[in-house]
Amino acid sequence: AEASTRNILDRETDIYKFAEALREALASAFAVLRIERSVWTEIKEEKDKLRPLMCELGDYARDYDIDVFANFLADEIETSLIAFTDVAFVTDLRYHNEYLILKALAHRRGWDFHWVHIVKEGNPPANEKERVSVNSLLDKEVPTCVYRAKGGDTHTLESCAKDFVRTYLTTSTSK
């Protein structure tokens, strides 16, 4: 998976998504089948068509190995943080095992770990399974902080990221 790199308040920051591995797998399938559609589209109608397909593929992969996405992303993050990144943001943590694996990675490496729960209004969970999972995660773990944003409001999300870095990370020297 390829991370999106940004500099937030002089901290080299990578942004990760568990779903990126799904998008890459679907992009490969589309290429083989010569389907000329982008899985990275921002067109709502196209995203709405892709979402159930991604959910099914994700469910299938998790049925094979419950930790498949968490382990994949943990490896990506570990490599990046060791090499050149100061901060790793994961934007789509929704399952308790994902939380536990990333937290264990941070603990093993001596890095800070903060869970920021962002609620985007108008952007409900993809399905009932995801809704149950998010609620279960919130029942079991306490986020470092919670932000609320209107769906699609990238300015608010960027402000949340800057606020979080300023509040929690500017005095920290660990990753």
Residue 166 DSSP symbol: I
The per-residue pLDDT for range 124-171, each reduced to its tens digit, is 787 888 889 999 999 999 888 787 777 666 666 677 767 777 776 655
**What are the residues whose beta carbons fall under 8 Å from the beta carbon of 38, sequence distance 6 or more?**
27, 46
Buried b (16+ CB within 10 A) or exposed e, 18-32: bbbbbbeebeeeeee
Task: Record the pTM.
Answer: 0.79
Token pair for 114? 């903060």
The DSSP element (H or E) to which 4 belongs, if any, is: strand 4-8
pLDDT digits (tens, 9 = 90+) for 45-92: 998 899 899 989 999 999 999 999 999 999 999 998 887 777 888 888
Phi, psi (deg, nearest 5) at residue 108: -60, -35
Roughly what angle, to the nearest 10 degrees, separates helices 68-83 and 96-109? Answer: 30
Report how far residue 81's alpha carbon sits from residue 79's, in angstroms, rounded to the nearest whole number. Answer: 6
